Structure 1
Amino acid sequence: MIRDDIKTALVTAMKGGDKATTAAIRLIQSEIKNRDIELRTGSAPADDDAVVVEVLQKMVKKRRESIELYVKGGRQELADAEAAEVAVIERFLPQTLSDDETRAAIEAIKGELGASGMKDMGRVMAELKARHATQLDMSKASALVKAALAG
C-alpha cells in the first residue's frame, strides 16, 4: 500500500537527516489524514490506494500552479522549493498511463458502452475513473475523452 511506502520513506528521511524530504512527507501525511477525516462522514472507500493517489494528485496540481505563479512573480527560490516537494510527492504516485494507452482505454470503454457522442461523456468518464483512477490525470483524460467523442 502507498501509505506504508510513505511511512517507510519518512523514517528513512528522518534517519538520513533530510529535512526537506521529511517536511514534504509530513505534509503528505497531513493531507491524507485530512482526507480520511472528510471521508468518515461518508461510506468507506473501496480502495485505500485510490484515496491516497487522489490526494497526491491534488497536491501535485496545487504545487505546479504555485510554481507557475512564483516564476511569473520572479520568485525562483520559492518555485524551486515547490518543485522539490513535487519531486517527493511524485515518488509515491503509481506510473501513469501514456497518452496512447489512455486513448486505447477510452476507445475500449467507448466500444463497450456504445458511446457515440458528447452526451455519453459522463458515462465514459465515470467508467474510465472506475477502472483507471490511480493511473490517470483525470483532467488530461477529460480532454482526450472529449476529443474521442467529438471526432
Structure 2
Amino acid sequence: MTVDMLALDAQVCFAVHRASRAFDALYRTELRDLGLTYPQYLVMLALWEEDGPTVKRLGERLRLDSGTLSPLLKRLEAAGMVERVRSRADERSVSVHLTGQGAALRSRAAEVPRRILASTGLDLRELADLHATLGRVTERLDAAARAARPE
C-alpha cells in the first residue's frame, strides 16, 4: 500500500493538531467553572507544582514566549490568582507567586484531569504510553530544530 505523503490525513502533525483542538474544546468546557482558560490552567498547574518561579523559568517550562505569557499573567493577577514580584537583587527578574485564592483553586481543579482522562476512553497505561511517545517525539523534533538552525 502506498501512502500519499502530502495527503492531509497522512500528516502526523495534523493528527496532533486535531487532537490538540479537541482537547482545547473539552478543556474550555471543563475549566469554565474555574474561570480559567486552557493556557491559564497550564500556568496554574505549573505554579501548583512550584510556587515562585521567575517569569523566564515559567515561560521555558510552558514553552511560551514573554509576549504570550505576560498577558496571561496579567489576567491571572487581575483575577486575584497570582502576584508578580520584582526581585530586589535584580529588578529585571520577576517571580510569580500564587495568592491564597490561586492556591485554593487547586482543590477545585482536582477533578479536571480525571474527567479529561475519562473522555479520552484511554486507560492509565494507554495514557502513560501516549505521554511517553509524545515526549520522545518532542525531544527529537527539538533536536532536529536545533540542528537545522543556522549558526
Would the TM-score normalized by the shorter structure come out above 0.5? no
Q: Which structure is higher in helix share? A: 1
TM-score by length of 2: 0.28
Q: Which structure is higher in strand share? A: 2
TM-score by length of 1: 0.28
Task: Specify which structure has the bigger relative contact order, considering alpha-carbon pairs within 8 angstroms and separated by 6 or more residues.
Answer: 1
